[in-house]
Amino acid sequence: MRNKKFFVFVVCGLIFLAGCKTAKEQVNDENESEIMIVENTPEILMVNFSMDSRDSVKVVNYLRNPGRLRGAMEEIGEPGDGDLIISFLSETNMVCSKTIVPNPLIKRVEYSETDDFSTLKAKTISLDSAEFFIRVQVDDCFKHLKIEKFTADKILELKIIRDFHKPL
C-alpha cells in the first residue's frame, strides 16, 4: 500500500514539474508575443516635402508612427492645374497608394484691411517655395515614391525616389 502511494506521489510530481516552464522560457514567450504585436500594429507614414518655383521637389524627412488614420478613405478626385500627384509604388512599379496635393505654391489668404476685423478679404498669392506634407496608411508594398505635376495638357514627372525606406 505504501509503495502505491509513493508511486502515485512521484508520478504526480513528475507531471507537475513537466508542466512548469523555466523563467527563461517565460521571458522568451513574452518577447515573441511583443514582437508579434509590434509587427502587426498598423502605421501612419507622414512625409514632409519642400518645393520651389522651378518644380524642384525634395523629401525633407519622413516619420512612421503606430496608428490608423481616422475616417474613411476618401475617393481621389481629379487633379487641377498645378496639383501634385504623389504615388507610392511597389517593387514592380505598381501603384499601391496615390494622393493628390493641391498646388503648394498657390495659397489663399484672408485678411482685414481695417482694425475692426468686421470685413475680411481674400487673396490668392503665388509663392517662390513652400513646404507641405502628406499622411498615408503604411502598406507593405511601399518601395518607391513618385511625384508628378498635373498640367492642363500633360502630367510631368518631377521625381522618383527608389528604395524609399532607406534613410534620407
- What would the mean pLDDT of 63-88 be, rounded to a whole number? 85
Q: Is the pTM higher than 0.75?
A: no
Q: Within 10 A of 96 (CB to CB), how many other CB atoms are there?
A: 16
51: burial class by Cβ within 10 Å (0-12, 13-18, 19+)?
A: buried
Cα angle 121-125-45, degrees, rounded to a multiple of 5: 110
Q: Which three cell numbers stand for residue 37?
A: 504585436
State the first-to-last Cα distance of the chain, in angstroms, to the nearest integer: 78
Q: pLDDT-derived band of residue 5, with 50, 70 and 90 as boundaries? A: confident
